[in-house]
Amino acid sequence: MVTTASPQSTRQRPRFRLVLATGAAAASLVMAGAVVPEAQAQPQARAAADDDGKQVLTVAVSQSIDSLSPFLAQRLVSTSIHRLAYDYLTNYDPEDGHTVPGLATEWKPSADKLTWTYTIRDDSKWSDGKQATADDAAWTFNKMMTDPNAATANGSFTANFKTVTAPDPETLVIELKKPQATMTALDVPIVPKHVWEKVGDFSKFNNDKQFPVVGNGPFVITDFKVDQYVKLEPNKTFWRGAPKFDELVFKYYKDGDAAVAALRKGEVSFVQGLTPAQAAALKSAENIKVNDAPGRRFFALATNPGAQSKDGKKFGNGHKALLDPAVRKALFHATDRTTIVDKVFQGHAVAGEGYIPPRFESYFWKPETSQEIAYDPAKAAQILDEAGYKKNGSGKRLGKDGKPLDFRILCHSTDPNDKAIGKYLQEWWGELGIGLKVECLDNVSDPWLKGDYDLAFDGWSVNPDPDFVLSIHTCAALPATPKDTGATDNFICDKQFDGLYAQQAAEYDPAKRADLVKQMQSRLYDTGYMNVLAYPNAVEAYRTDQIKSITTMPEAAGNIYGQDGYWSWWSAEPAATDDGSDSGSSMGVAIGAVAAVVLAAALGLFVAMRRRSTAEDRE
């Protein structure tokens, strides 16, 4: 983690450009696990300059943008961009994830905790020069409350809101129907009312045609090309201080081999999602640092529970046998997590247990020994036999309809882990007499949303507060009709889970809420719709001759890419300037003691929570 001088410093600095590459190139390398020979490396002291003389810092990412609309986006790369382009009411301290000021400088609940009053800062401006006010926040939340299409990505946050008003430019008042534990962790980008009130159909507006996009975060979105890049420039008026690089570009790489090769050559300054082979090779490379830290993601096997919409209509073509709990349990008994961690992740992961990764200690849950669905192929076969799924003369397991049990699993074509684990599943489940077709696609979202799958490799990033990743498994997250898009992950609708979700959402006591969250994980585990296989490490690398320092989250041992906040790219400090002097000391993570005092005075209590990445989300 990097700590530099106060953000109020105005010392002159050189012009740099920060580029984040996403997608294509970051994947093929990963898929193959290939390593570019050292002889091909052509290190450069700094990122290459573009035609206008600006310095370019490039970061490779392997995920394409689903939407630039904060009301629709759910993938990690998209929500990460929104954290850079828009301020949220609150943020998370990079050291330990506790709540710190964002657009709101302080907040306090009423005695009954049904009314929350936020003080909106007076030094935040939209990038078009207009003042950001409480009215913008009120409009954002009210739009989500009144337009289902505007609630697609983050509607769970406002479902319990009764009224939202802005009595004056610096005061936001939210009245709740019942207590809500996420009021200091509302991960909703606040948008400018004067721009977004002109939007018609929120379900179709992707915010990707007119640039620059007006925002009030540390960066401004300036350009976008589908499956190529998203460009951003520093917001010079950002209240915490402008970033140190002149441009930030999320560049899509589908081929991971190409991304790592570019890192070695100095054409790319940062790559995430490294394979074990890539990470091992890069550790010995000159001017490259590998960051291998406990991640905030889980990697899971999801089964189709029968795609359905809120109006009760069924759709999709999921295999009917997977509606039987015995079949799901047998499949999970025949899945060896230890082998997956040791052979696929090669130790860069921890075996999966509950839904929340162990990084979030207060919410982490693991099954009791009597509850655990451990690797036991003999037990799996016994369960299937007793449930009436017998083998025929050729060793094929038959369904209740007399047909062989053959399943499909959705696989991301850019993810080598999906492919490798898919091969293991074919072997393990084949011994049970069950067939498995691994369907690797560039775009898994389309069949997923249509319910056209049997099983799928799933994974989400979890925020300090787990509400969002829990909400996507509630009945309320289902699409309104089969033609609509809901916030659901994989169509789970379980009344017992919903009851626990409602209780935790209204529980302000941290210990009691944590217990309810653990009960939810236990229920999700028992239903067998989700099988968390592993908690992958964040394995990433950057060039030290281009990046002098950068903030990890948490500071002690955390990730750089996909943080709960904008700390990494906002704080990134160039390695050197053209004149040889140090640069970037004008910025820093200035949230320490002063912010802590503000928080203590404003809230009178410590709440460390919140949610997704994101959504990473499905991809």
What residues contact residue 342 under an 8 Å CB cut-off, 6+ apart? Answer: none
Q: What is the pLDDT of residue 379?
A: 98
pTM for the full predicted model: 0.80
Q: What is the pLDDT of residue 590?
A: 35
Is residue 42 classed as helix, strand or coil in its secondary structure? coil
Q: What is the pLDDT of residue 49?
A: 52
Helix pair angle (377-386, 325-333), 10° resolution = 160
End-to-end Cα separation, the chain, in angstroms: 27
Is residue 409 classed as helix, strand or coil in its secondary structure? strand
Least Cα distance to 469 among 507, 513, 520 occurs for 520
What residues contact residue 270 under an 8 Å CB cut-off, 6+ apart? Answer: 20, 57, 58, 59, 60, 263, 540, 541, 542, 543, 547, 560, 561
- Amino acid occupying residue 337: R
Q: What is the pLDDT of residue 255?
A: 83
Specify burial of residue 528 (Cβ count, 10 A radius: 0-12, 13-18, 19+): buried
If phi over 0 gives left and psi between -120 and 50 gives alpha, with beta otherwise, what is residue 435? beta
Q: Is the dihedral of CA 494, 146, 468, 481 positive or negative?
A: positive
* Main-chain dihedrals φ then ψ at residue 611, nearest 5 degrees: -105, -155
| Tokens 């400088």 sit on residue | 105
* Main-chain dihedrals φ then ψ at residue 394, nearest 5 degrees: -95, 10
Going from the C-alpha of 525 to that of each of 148, 300, 382, 387, the distances in angstroms are 30, 11, 20, 20
Q: Give the alpha-carbon dihedral of 267, 272, 274, 279, to 10 degrees.
A: 70
Going from the C-alpha of 459 to that of each of 111, 301, 358, 377, 417, the distances in angstroms are 39, 8, 15, 25, 12
d(CA 457, CA 212): 36
DSSP letter, residue 284: T
Say if CB 155 and CB 141 are below 8 A apart. Answer: no
Compute the radius of gyration of the chain from its Cα atoms. 24
Going from the C-alpha of 201 to that of each of 148, 197, 479, 488, 498, the distances in angstroms are 11, 11, 17, 21, 30
Q: What is the pLDDT of residue 54?
A: 76
Q: Which residues of the chain have pLDDT under 70?
A: 1-53, 577-619
What residues contact residue 544 under an 8 Å CB cut-off, 6+ apart? Answer: 287, 288, 289, 575
Say if CB 537 and CB 292 are below 8 A apart. Answer: yes
